[in-house]
Structure 1
C-alpha cells in the first residue's frame, strides 16, 4: 500500500476478518475506516468454534472473549448408527498447556460484538466505492476481489443446516461430531444453548436415536449452501489486498475459516508496504488449511466399508499433538 498517505486506510467489511484487521491496525498506530454494506452488525446467534491459533492472536491484540465463551473439554468423533466413540482429542486445559491459548465455543454475534467494541466506529450501510488503498475483508461475495479476478462463488455440493437449541440436559461439555454416509452432524454447547449443524442430506433415517432427537428438537433448520471460489492469481493489486474469505474461502470442515481470517488480519499491518511478502507469508498456510478442509468433505461422509474403517482407525489413533501444524 502506498506510503506517506495521511488518509486512513479503508477496510471493506465488518465481519470477523475486517474487525480484527481494524484492531490490529490500531495496535500498530495505523488509522483505518471500516465500511460495511449491511445496515447493522450481523445478528446471527449461531455458534462458532475458535481454535487456539485464533484465540492466541486475539489475546495478543487485547481482545478478551472470556465473558461470552465456553471451553469444551474435548472433541469426540462418533459413529452415525450407534453413537460409538471413534476417537477423542482433549481440548480444555490440555490445549492451553500445549498452545498457550484456549479452544473456545461461542455465538458468532457475541464474537462480532466484542470485536466491534475493540475496533471502534464502523460506517454501516456503506459499500466500498472504489477507494484505494482498500483492505477487502468483505467475505465470500467480496466486491474488492473483483479487482483481482472476475470470478464468482461456486457451490461445492453441500448444504449446512444450522440451529441453536436451548441447553440440553446431560449433553457433555464437548464438541461432538457424528460421521455417517452422506452427512455429518456437529453439536457443542455455547453460552445459553447448544449449537447444532447438519451437513449433507437432511434425512437421518437409521441414525442413532439421540442424534435424530437433537435434529427433531431443533425444528426446521435454516440451510446455508456452501460455496468456494477458484484460487486467486494474486491477493493484491494496485495497493489493495483481500483477506479471509475474500482471498481464500474454505469449507467449514476444520472450523478454521474465521481463524485464518484472524491470522491474516494480525499479520497484515506489518506488510502494508509489501503486499507480495504478506501473500508469500500467508498463502502456503491457507492453501494447506483449505486443502485439509476440502478433504473433510469426502472423508466425513464415507459410506460404511473398507475406506471408512481405515478413516476410523486413523481417527482413533489421533492425538492433540497431531494438531500442532494447525493450532501453533
Structure 2
C-alpha cells in the first residue's frame, strides 16, 4: 500500500473511522475517509456510550447534548419474575466520579455529529492505494484482510433489535436468563431494545413484560467475532475498532474501544508498534470481559447462577473504575 496519496486514508465511516478523522484533524493531520455505503444512515438503532467514550468525544469538541439522554441507573433483573438483582447508579453519579456522562442515543445521530467535524468523506468508495491506510471498516473489514485472511467465528448467539416508539423508563434494564438476555434503554423518542438468545429460544416461562419485549424484536443477526490478529499493523496499514479487536456486545464497549483507539492513534502515526503496545492490552482485557459476560449472562438456574447473582448484588459503581476511568 505504499503508493498513492501521502495523507492517511481512513476506510470506513463508522464510529471508529469518523472519530479517527476528528482526532487527526485536532492534531493538524489532514485525512480522507472512504465509505462503501452511499450515505450515512438516516435512522437506526440505539447505542450506549459510557464515560470512557464520552470523555474523549467531549475533548474533541463533539457535542451530543441535544441528541442524547443520561439514564439514571443500570438495573439487572431476573428472567422469570423481574426481581431486581442489582442496581448501579449512572446519571449524576457517573458524571461526578468519572467527569463525563453515560449517554444513550441513536447511532445515526452520533455518526452525524462526528461527520460534521470529520472533514472529507467520500461515499460509495472503498479501499484505494495510499501511503498510510487506517482500517476502520468493522467486523467484515477489507483492510484487515491485508494483514490476515482469517474468517469469522460464530459466537453462538443471535441478536435481535428494535426501537419501540413508546417512552421507556429512565434506566438501562437488563434481564438475565438461561440462554438469553434482554436489554432495554431509553433513547430520544423511543425505547431501544436488544434481545440476545441462542437459536430457537422461545422465552417460555419468562416474566410476561419481558416476553412481550422479546417478541417485539424481530430483526436478527448472528453474533460473530474473529481470532486475535498477530499484529494490528504492517507496511503502512493499521486497523482499529472491530477491524482490529472485535468483541461480543456483552459489555456495551465495542464502540467505546473504537473511540479509544481513534483517540490514541494520532500520537503514534510514526510508531504503529507503539500504538498497538499502548492499546492492545486494554482492548484485549475488555474483550475477555465481554466473552466472560456472554457466559455469566446466560447461566441456567443453579449454584453458579446464584453465585453470579450474589456478585451482582454486591457490585457498585466503583467496580466499573477499571472500565470507565
* Superposition TM-score tier, normalisation by shorter sequence: over 0.9
* C-alpha separation in 2, matches of 1:135 and 1:326: 25
Following superposition, the deviation at residue 146 of structure 1 comes to: 1.3
Aligned to 1:48: 47
- Return 241-250 or 40-49, whichever deviates more: 40-49
* C-alpha separation in 2, matches of 1:123 and 1:150: 26
* C-alpha separation in 2, matches of 1:117 and 1:182: 41
Aligned to 1:29: 28
CA distances 1:191-233 after superposition (whole Å, capped 9, x unpaired): 00000111014411111111122234x2x61001111111000
* C-alpha separation in 1, matches of 2:42 and 2:178: 33
Alignment partner of 1:317 is 2:314: yes
CA distances 1:38-73 after superposition (whole Å, capped 9, x unpaired): 111134521100000000000000001101100000
Conserved? CA contact 1:145–1:246, under 8 Å: yes
Aligned to 1:299: 296
Aligned to 1:246: 243
Aligned to 2:124: 125
CA distances 1:58-116 after superposition (whole Å, capped 9, x unpaired): 00000011011000000000000000000000000000000000000011111111111
* C-alpha separation in 1, matches of 2:307 and 2:5: 58
* C-alpha separation in 1, matches of 2:152 and 2:45: 22
- Pairing 1:93-132 to 2, within 5 Å after superposition: 93-132=92-131
CA distances 1:304-324 after superposition (whole Å, capped 9, x unpaired): 000000000000000100000
For normalisation by structure 1, the TM-score amounts to: 0.96
Alignment partner of 1:279 is 2:276: yes
* C-alpha separation in 1, matches of 2:183 and 2:5: 47
Aligned to 1:262: 259
Conserved? CA contact 1:167–1:189, under 8 Å: no
Aligned to 1:163: 162
Q: Which runs of 4+ in 1 moved over 2 A?
A: 129-132, 213-216
Q: The residue matched to 2:96 in structure 1 has which SS?
A: helix
- Return 298-307 or 130-139, whichever deviates more: 130-139
- Return 151-160 or 252-261, whichever deviates more: 151-160
Q: The residue matched to 1:195 in structure 2 has which SS?
A: strand
Aligned to 2:150: 151
For normalisation by structure 2, the TM-score amounts to: 0.96
* C-alpha separation in 2, matches of 1:285 and 1:325: 10
Conserved? CA contact 1:72–1:174, under 8 Å: yes
Of 161, 170, 173 in structure 1, the residue corresponding to residue 170 of structure 2 is: 173
Conserved? CA contact 2:182–2:214, under 8 Å: no
CA distances 1:7-47 after superposition (whole Å, capped 9, x unpaired): 32100000000000000000000000100011111345211
Following superposition, the deviation at residue 159 of structure 1 comes to: 0.6
Q: The residue matched to 1:55 in structure 2 has which SS?
A: helix
Aligned Cα root-mean-square deviation (Å): 1.5
* C-alpha separation in 2, matches of 1:275 and 1:180: 42
Following superposition, the deviation at residue 129 of structure 1 comes to: 2.3
Where does the alignment leave 5 or more consecutive residues of structure 1 unmatched?
none
Conserved? CA contact 1:10–1:32, under 8 Å: yes
* C-alpha separation in 2, matches of 1:326 and 1:224: 27
* C-alpha separation in 2, matches of 1:18 and 1:144: 12
Where does the alignment leave 5 or more consecutive residues of structure 2 unmatched?
none
Conserved? CA contact 2:44–2:107, under 8 Å: yes
* C-alpha separation in 2, matches of 1:132 and 1:240: 8
